[in-house]
């Protein structure tokens, strides 16, 4: 009988740096939103079915919801581990940033909400979050889609939300939205680890420089020299692949991803989260 496969050691994230990254990325998104025109706010954003205005309003609602959760008593201790967040969210059919409640709250911002109003909402929400985080312990439980999560883990998932939303906004509105380096690195690593958890193994090496390298997919494990099966791409392309913004076939055709080796086809494993 082959030996049982060890579960990979969970990655750890620096809580102080994650908190700073969330606030910084919120600032970058707010800055971009405040400068949008009416035409840009009305532009369709990915995934289909929402506009840039709705994306910005939904993000504001998401932060406000976290603020309310931090102001209330912690929920009963039925904890969801960070390692399980992607799988749980995918199973529930939730968007990267919005459960059903937050999506509804975002839609209530009104069809005529302007850039200044949306930007001010984000600024208020970010300021309140920064104040609440100053006194909130990392291990405090916060309501999540399937029970509760530690605050430090929730903030790691918020890096995914914020970076993906910023990229969606940039693509739809045709503007540059800055990415906090630590937020981008955190989102990239979390979704790369989710791929390794979904397809455990060591036959394919997935490289997303400069942030992460993971091995995945059943088969012969590579131990030294050049791996026979290698996938490599840039951080934002990886996030688009992992969240269904770009298909595997399109990324290959546009040379945004390189894949060598007979096992280096991740089409059946993506997206991880939509």
Task: Indicate the pTM of the whole model.
Answer: 0.91
**Which one has a higher pLDDT value, 169 or 89?**
169
Is 126 buried (19+), middle (13-18) or exposed (0-12) by CB count in 10 A? Answer: buried
How many CB atoms are closer than 10 A to CB 128?
A: 17
Instruction: Please check the confidence at residue 159 and state whether its pLDDT lies above 80.
Output: yes
- Most distant CA pair in the chain: distance in Å? 64
Structure tokens that stand for 29 in this block:
């998104």
The H or E element spanning position 185 is: helix 181-198
Give me the residue label for tokens 């496969």: 5
Instruction: Please check the confidence at residue 2 and state whether its pLDDT lies above 60.
Output: no
The SS3 call for residue 110 is coil
Q: Is the Cβ–Cβ distance between 188 and 208 less than 8 Å?
A: yes
Share of the chain above pLDDT 70, in %: 88
The whole-angstrom separation of Cα 238 and Cα 245 is 10
pLDDT digits (tens, 9 = 90+) for 115-157: 999 999 999 999 999 999 999 999 999 998 767 999 999 999 9
How many CB atoms are closer than 10 A to CB 211?
A: 17
The whole-angstrom separation of Cα 41 and Cα 115 is 8
Q: Is the Cβ–Cβ distance between 196 and 216 less than 8 Å?
A: yes
∠ CA 191-236-80, rounded to 5° = 20
Domains and CATH numbers, the chain: 15-179 (1.20.120.450), 185-269 (3.30.1050.40)
The whole-angstrom separation of Cα 18 and Cα 42 is 32
**Is omega for the bond preceding 210 within 30 degrees of 0, making it cis?**
yes
Which residues, 6+ apart, have CB-to-CB distance to 29 below 8 Å? 56, 59, 122, 162, 165, 166, 169, 177
Q: What is the pLDDT of residue 89?
A: 86
């Amino acid at each position: 009988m082959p030996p049982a496969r060890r579960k990979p050691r969970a990655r750890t994230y620096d809580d102080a740096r994650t908190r700073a990254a969330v606030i910084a990325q919120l600032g970058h998104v707010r800055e971009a939103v405040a400068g949008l025109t009416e035409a840009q706010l009305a532009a369709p954003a990915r995934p289909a079915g929402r506009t840039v205005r709705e994306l910005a309003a939904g993000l504001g609602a998401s932060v406000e919801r976290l603020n309310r959760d931090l102001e209330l008593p912690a929920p009963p201790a039925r904890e969801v581990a960070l390692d399980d967040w992607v799988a749980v969210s995918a199973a529930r059919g939730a968007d990267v940033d919005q459960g059903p409640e937050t999506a509804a709250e975002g839609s209530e911002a009104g069809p005529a909400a302007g850039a200044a109003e949306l930007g001010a909402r984000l600024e208020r929400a970010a300021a309140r979050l920064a104040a609440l985080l100053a006194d909130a312990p990392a291990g405090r439980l916060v309501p999540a889609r399937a029970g509760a999560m530690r605050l430090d883990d929730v903030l790691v998932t918020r890096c995914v939300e914020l970076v993906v939303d910023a990229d969606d906004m940039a693509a739809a509105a045709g503007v540059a939205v800055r990415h906090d380096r630590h937020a981008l690195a955190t989102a990239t690593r979390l979704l790369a680890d989710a791929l390794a958890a979904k397809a455990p193994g060591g036959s394919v090496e997935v490289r997303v420089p400069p942030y992460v390298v993971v091995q995945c997919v059943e088969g012969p494990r590579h131990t030294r020299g050049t791996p026979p099966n290698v996938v490599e791409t840039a951080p934002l392309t990886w996030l688009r692949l992992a969240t269904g913004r770009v298909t595997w076939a399109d990324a290959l055709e546009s040379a945004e991803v390189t894949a060598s080796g007979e096992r280096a086809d991740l089409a059946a494993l993506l997206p991880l989260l939509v």
